[in-house]
């Protein structure tokens, strides 16, 4: 099963109500919300008041990605929004198990995020403690970056490790996810695809529903090419 998450940071911020309505019509399953502190990454984005208004304007569950230093501080700040997921970067946490537990205690699904240059060894000890891994395919901070091909090798290595686990987390991928990068990611068993400027919030003609349907058709074609059952 493949899930589509819309990167709401890439939407038209002056027309969010209409954008959210379009995403609901397109049956997008998650809203990926990037929280940036200007320290862990050189950008600022999506404060709690903004996400509070977004949550009030849609029934689509929130998928909050903390691209921040001191994740514990932001977990407390954003947990009241009752998102489906909160992911934090293992590179930024001084106590990964504690931060996982804190998110779980708030009734939210914890996820671990990993930047392209970070080794998978950083997340391996925690794979059975979380329901999802967020593999960044670009450096967190800015949309429109080039897809990092080396992440494909990391996904191969990650899947080898996860094949030995009884409880396998989902793999979410984020960063220049489009018609060219989706096929190798489907092959590497990615489950949740974050769509931003390159596939959804762009100047190409078509509604969100049409663009999402194109992506779902791409999932199906690549699923069939791998000899798997249709979605």
- Rounded to 5°, the CA angle 23-27-29 comes to 90
**DSSP secondary structure of 151-216:** HHHHHHHHHHHHTT-SSPPEEEEESS-STTTHHHHHHTT--EEEE-TTTTSSSSSS-HHHHHHHHH
34 a catalytic residue: yes
- Which residues on adjacent β-strands are paired with residue 114? 135
Structure tokens that stand for 90 in this block: 């293992």
Catalytic residue among 34, 63, 94, 153: 34
Question: CA–CA separation, 170 vs 115, rounded Å?
Answer: 17
Catalytic residue among 76, 82, 99, 174: 174
94 a catalytic residue: no
Handedness of CA 201, 221, 187, 130 (dihedral sign): positive
DSSP letter (8 states) at residue 68: S
Among all residues, which ones are annotated catalytic? 34, 174
């Amino acid at each position: 099963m493949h899930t589509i998450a819309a990167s709401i940071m890439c939407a038209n911020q002056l027309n969010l109500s209409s954008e959210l309505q379009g995403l609901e019509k397109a049956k997008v399953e998650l809203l990926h919300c990037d929280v940036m502190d200007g320290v862990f990454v050189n950008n600022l984005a999506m404060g709690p008041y903004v996400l509070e208004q977004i949550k009030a304007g849609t029934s689509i569950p929130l998928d909050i990605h903390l691209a921040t230093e001191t994740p514990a501080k932001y977990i407390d700040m954003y947990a009241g929004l009752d998102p489906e997921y909160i992911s934090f970067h293992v590179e930024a946490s001084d106590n990964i198990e504690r931060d996982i537990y804190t998110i779980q205690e708030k009734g939210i699904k914890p996820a671990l995020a990993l930047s392209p240059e970070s080794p998978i060894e950083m997340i391996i000890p925690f794979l059975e403690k979380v329901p999802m891994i967020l593999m960044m395919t670009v450096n967190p901070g800015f949309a429109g970056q080039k897809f990092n091909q080396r992440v494909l090798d990391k996904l191969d290595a990650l899947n080898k490790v996860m094949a030995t686990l009884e409880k396998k987390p989902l793999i979410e991928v984020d960063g220049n996810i489009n018609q060219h990068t989706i096929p190798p990611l489907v092959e590497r068993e990615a489950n949740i695809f974050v769509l931003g400027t390159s596939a959804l919030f762009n100047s190409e003609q078509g509604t969100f529903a049409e663009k999402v349907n194109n992506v779902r058709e791409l999932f199906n074609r690549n699923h069939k090419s791998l000899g798997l059952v249709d979605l």
